[in-house]
Amino acid sequence: MPTYIGFNTIDQQKKFTLTDYALIKRDLANAFNIRQGELVGRPSYGTLIWNLVFENQVEDLQRSMEEEIRRIVAQDPRIQIVQLNVYPQQNGILVELEVETVATTNAQILTLFFDVQQQSAQLV
pLDDT tens for 7-49 read: 555 665 566 666 567 777 888 888 888 888 888 888 888 888 8
From the centroid of its chain, how far is CA 73?
Answer: 7
Q: What is the mean pLDDT of residues 80-95?
A: 87
Domain boundary assignment for the chain:
5-123
**Count of other CB atoms within 10 angstroms of residue 16:** 11
Residue 52 pLDDT greater than 60, yes or no: yes
* Closest listed residue to residue 121, CA positions, set 79, 82, 65, 76: 65
Topology (CATH level 3) of domain 5-123: Nuclear Transport Factor 2; Chain: A, (3.10.450)
Residue 112 pLDDT greater than 80, yes or no: yes
Residues 100 and 78 sit within 8 Å (Cβ to Cβ) = no
Which range is least confidently modeled, 3-12, 50-59, 81-90, 91-100? 3-12
Specify the pTM: 0.77
